[in-house]
Copies of this chain bind each other. A is one copy, B any other.
Amino acid sequence: MTTDSDLVSDVLSEYGALSRRALTSYLEQVAERDAVYRIAADYPLRKGRSLRASLCIAAARAFGASVEEAVRSAVSLELLHSAFLVHDDIEDESEERRGGPTLHNLVGVASALNAGDALIMLALRPLLGNRSILGPLVAWQILEEAERMVRESVEGQAMELRWREQSSVSLTESDYLMMILKKTCWYTTLYPTRVGALIGTRGNADLDQFARFGFFLGAAFQIQDDLLNIVGDHDRYGKEIAGDLLEGKRTLLLIHTLRELEPSARGRALDLLRLPRRHKPAAEVAWLGQAMRRVGSIDYASQVAHAFAGAAAHEFSVCFRDAVPGRDRDFVEALSHWVLERR
């Protein structure tokens, strides 16, 4: 018997490899034009799960499309994802990404920033290429979706930057959820599902239906990611453990901890968070990690992630009710469990 988890692994491997081949061939082609594309190719070609590309292809197929019809959009999304990562890593002064040094640590801020711009531009080409395979109307609808998705991502990143710059201390859970809806969910789950549905239905999908599913699934994914950043295994996770604390990221965990800590400890935590990354003493960071556990933030965030995953499973049954039964539909359905199980 194939478990849900095996199914997700299998589909991620298959669609991941497939979109990776298309991505690699595209990047090799442009690499001959200018060295900037070899720098830009770094993140997209690092080991990754290709979750977003796979979700886009599976959603398209579940609504009746072929892989060929979806692969350009999947490749474009992986490139945009990498562009966001490159620019975010500069903005967050992050050290590690996908098991290696961040791009600006390898080539300097100037070249990394320009490589991020190159990635945004490279992501547009496959979307323009959609015209010949999906027709002008669907290709145009996907461009509109891409514009919306980039807008949400930029606004989400802006929220998070403001919080950190202003050392915001009075954030609520709903602030956090609004931020991850914009910064994580749009490009991780809403966009791939909506674009997949557009491709599969030849532009006749009711996109609003997919917004709730995408938000719940993406929120479960992001909260689990925040948890892994604190309790994960470095080699599997590919980023520095407790990097979020060093960067002062306002996660659901941290918001819960700040709310639950006794006043003196809360002051100590806020003093730590206000320090620039390089001035945060390792011992204090370790103390805050312990405090998170002590006040139950790990358990709490885990419960919230489970609730969102459950809500996603329910919404799935609404928005995928007309999808073709089979492996692709099963894969999308199984993601609600998988987001919690992944290490």
- Hey, which bits of chain A sit against chain B, CB under 8 A? 33-36, 87, 90-92, 108-111, 113-114, 117-118, 120-121, 124-125, 128, 131, 136, 140, 143-144, 147, 150-151, 154-155, 157-159, 161-162, 165
Contact = CB atoms under 8 A, between A and B. Distances in A.
Return the 3 tightest CB-CB contacts between A and B, nearest first. Answer: A36-B158, A91-B110, A121-B150
Residue of A90, A92, A113 with highest tally of chain B CB at under 10 A? A113
B36 A155 contact: yes
A165 B113 contact: no
B165 A108 contact: yes
A165 B128 contact: no
A121 B149 CA distance: 10
Contacts of A158: 34-36, 111, 114, 118
Nearest to A110: B91
A157 B121 contact: no
B147 A140 contact: no
A165 to B, nearest CB: 7
A109 B140 CA distance: 34
Contacts of A151: 121
A38 to B, nearest CB: 10
19 contacts: A33-B155, A34-B158, A35-B158, A87-B114, A90-B110, A91-B109, A91-B110, A92-B110, A108-B165, A110-B161, A111-B158, A111-B161, A111-B162, A113-B113, A114-B157, A117-B120, A124-B147, A125-B147, A136-B140
A137 to B, nearest CB: 8
A87 B117 contact: yes
Contacts of A150: 117, 120-121, 124
Given A124-B147, A131-B140, 19 more contacts: A34-B158, A36-B158, A87-B114, A87-B117, A91-B113, A91-B114, A110-B165, A111-B158, A111-B161, A111-B165, A113-B113, A114-B154, A114-B157, A114-B158, A120-B120, A121-B147, A124-B143, A128-B147, A136-B140
A147 B125 CA distance: 7
Contacts of A87: 113-114, 117
A89 to B, nearest CB: 11
A23 to B, nearest CB: 18
A149 to B, nearest CB: 10
A33 B158 CA distance: 12
A90 B147 CA distance: 24
A49 to B, nearest CB: 24
A80 to B, nearest CB: 11
Residue of A91, A110, A128, A159 with highest tally of chain B CB at under 10 A? A110
Nearest to A84: B117
A78 to B, nearest CB: 18
A207 B124 CA distance: 21
Nearest to A111: B161
Contacts of A34: 155, 158-159
